[in-house]
Amino acid sequence: MLERLELILDKEQINKFINTNILIVGVGGVGGACFEALVRLGIKKITIIDKDDFDITNLNRQILSKRSNIGHKKVFEAQIRAKDINPDILVDCKDMFLNEANINEIDFTKYEYIIDCCDTMTTKLLLIKKALEYNIKIISSMGTGNRVDPTKLELTNIWKTNYDPVAKAMRKMLRENNIKAKIPVLASTEQPIKIASRKPGSTSLVPNVAGFYIASYVFNDIINNGK
């Protein structure tokens, strides 16, 4: 499945990427699209963490969701889809809600990249702490809800975000923990649409583009040796 990739990259670049061990936390809207992109790029091994099942409200935006898998575990459905694309891929599925009580069950020494696509602020902070502790590269997705324009997404660092309530809360938590690192994030410069519901609104556009954008960042960072 690498024939088309081999037309534009040399073998050293391809091998460097496909042999990188990546951890994705959250395979919903953003994380599912990111996972799909990495699988189709030929990654050999990847770990995914998510406790959720697919439900009918996921159909409008989550690339891994379909009516036939409503009620099924996201991580196992993601594995099935990946194997259907590349039978040789190794997908380590962890059906768990990652938090302070269980995060030490994860062997972070195995990973060279952490992709944070989860929704829980405390988990995001824990992942940043682990990335800094083990010197693992990380990129974190900020908010994509209540937005309609994917062209407003940008890669930046956590200290340079605007109009993003998730990033604002994240900065506060980092300051409280005396963390000053320039954590790479994907955020939107679009002001969120104000709605009455506490549940965020969404389209198929912003989360999926965000997921592919993050995959692109990780892919290009690896093949270009971080340049």
Q: For 15-36, how does the pLDDT look when each residue is reduced to its tens digit (9 = 90+)?
A: 999 999 999 999 999 999 999 9
> 129-186 pLDDT, tens per residue?
999 999 999 999 999 999 999 999 999 999 999 889 999 999 999 999 999 999 999 9
Q: Where are the domains of the chain?
A: 12-223
Radius of gyration for the chain, computed over Cα atoms and rounded to the nearest angstrom? 17
Q: How many C-beta atoms surround the C-beta of residue 80 within 10 A? A: 14
Tens of pLDDT, residue by residue over 45-54, are 999 999 999 9
Backbone angles phi, psi at 172, to 5 degrees: -60, -45
Q: What's CA 137's distance to the chain center, in Å?
A: 13
Q: For residue 18, what is the DSSP state? A: H
DSSP state of 168: H
Q: Which fold has domain 12-223?
A: Rossmann fold (3.40.50)
Tokens for 127?
């992942």
Residue type, 70: I
SS3 141: strand
Q: Give the predicted TM-score (pTM) of the model.
A: 0.97
Q: Which two tokens stand for residue 222?
A: 């690896």
